[in-house]
A and B are shown apart, each in its own frame.
Chain A
């Protein structure tokens, strides 16, 4: 190998490393992230489906917010555990919900069965994806929900 061809090879290699260093993040950036159809915003993977027992409510945290996964007949729904009345954290009571602050009761589908709350518990956009449950923002389209659901990551 002559000195000239060695230098050419060396410069070419350094240039290739530079180009690869630029293109790697670019290509990763263009790869579509995990998404839920109809929902815009951050999507988090909250774990394998096996972690959510059938017919039960399982407490989880979505971006630090209290929530519950409901597994019914192979379908999954994720309810926010923040009360629509004044924003207390709702407790899981069997297959339904109860707010300890003012005694609002919610049915297993989140509907109000006893006041003072008037709006049903909101659900998160969610979707199963290769054995895991992906959770997106709260679905705010179902009712005129109070502002505390529109947090940074909701």
Chain B
């Protein structure tokens, strides 16, 4: 039995043309990264989109990366128990070298990210970028906005000071006022009828494990759809 030559794996023209030297080249050649990068480099940003108002989404993503990096660092010293949470935050701010710096970056980036995500949403709305065929990307964007607010809400409790306690009390009370399922939501969020160690544990879990996992999935979807559908046309 013979195998026709066209059924064998074919070298793409670029594979034949470009053989990168060195250690980086060794990896690039094997994974065809040249083709991938060429694809990225060949995409043209439309003239009307070379404008600062089209940067808000990208800035929000950069802030997300900063928050992820500083958040991982803060988690080194933060302790999510009622007895030690406040002390550990004070310890970060007053005693750990550059702790005030890392925590401040995290705090300010968090506020800025909520703002930038919102402004990005306004840009998409007023340029009509949510219209067909990009409705699905608008919907993932709504989810991303809600997740961002969820990060803010859960992160606010973690210092475990008076402001954190009462903000969470009010926020979870609002969830509790939903008809029919309100009490279920309240107990699910608080881990009981009252705000307690269980609440702090749940909010910490949401803040550092659950929400990051979900936001990464939706970010990938969001970006993939931008690549797939391209930037919306001009007004």
A1-58 interface with B by 8 A CB criterion: 25-26, 28-31, 33, 40-43
User: For chain A residues 75-131, which have a beta carbon within 8 Å of chain B?
Assistant: none
Residues of B80-125 at the interface with A, using a CB-CB cut-off of 8 Å, are 84, 87-88, 90-91, 94-99, 101-102
Which listed residue (A26, A28, A33, A152) contacts B95, Cβ 8 A? A33
Q: Are B101 and A137 in contact, with the CB atoms below 8 A?
A: no
23 contacts between A and B (CB under 8 A): A25-B97, A25-B98, A25-B101, A26-B73, A26-B98, A26-B102, A28-B98, A29-B73, A29-B96, A29-B97, A29-B98, A29-B99, A30-B73, A30-B76, A33-B97, A40-B79, A40-B84, A40-B91, A41-B90, A42-B90, A42-B91, A153-B90, A153-B94
Q: Is the interface of B mostly helix, strand, loop or mixed?
A: helix
Enumerate chain B interface residues (CB-CB to A < 8 A).
Answer: 73, 76, 79, 84, 87-88, 90-91, 94-99, 101-102
Q: How many A residues touch B, CB cutoff 8 Å?
A: 14
| Number of A-B contacts defined by CB within 8 Å | 41
**Min C-beta distance of B68 to chain A, whole Å:** 13
**Could you say which residues of chain A place their CB within 8 Å of the CB of B91?**
33, 40-42
Distance in Å from the Cβ of B81 to the closest Cβ of chain A? Answer: 10
- In the complex, residue of chain B having the shortest beta-carbon distance to the beta carbon of A26: B73
Across-interface contacts of B88 in A (CB, < 8 A): 40
Given contacts A25-B102, A29-B102, A33-B97, contact A40 B73 (CB under 8 A): no
Determine the distance from Cα of A10 to Cα of B87 in the docked complex, in whole angstroms: 45
Q: Please, which residues of chain A bring their CB within 8 A of the CB of B98?
A: 25-26, 28-29
- In the assembled complex, the Cα of A26 lies from the Cα of B98 at a distance in Å of 8
User: Beyond A29-B98, A33-B97, A137-B87: 4 further Cβ-contacts under 8 Å?
Assistant: A25-B98, A28-B98, A30-B76, A40-B84
Rounded to whole Å, the gap between the CB of B92 and the closest CB of chain A is 9
Report chain B residues within 8 Å CB of A40. Answer: 79, 84, 87-88, 91
Cα–Cα distance between A31 and B90 once the two chains are bound (Å):
17
- From B87, B97, B102, contact of A31 by CB (8 A): B97
Rounded to whole Å, the gap between the CB of B80 and the closest CB of chain A is 13
Q: In the bound complex, how far is the Cα of B87 from the Cα of A40, in angstroms?
A: 7
Query: What residue of chain B has the Cβ atom nearest to residue A140's Cβ?
Result: B83
Which residues of chain A are within 8 angstroms of B73 by Cβ–Cβ distance?
A: 26, 29-30
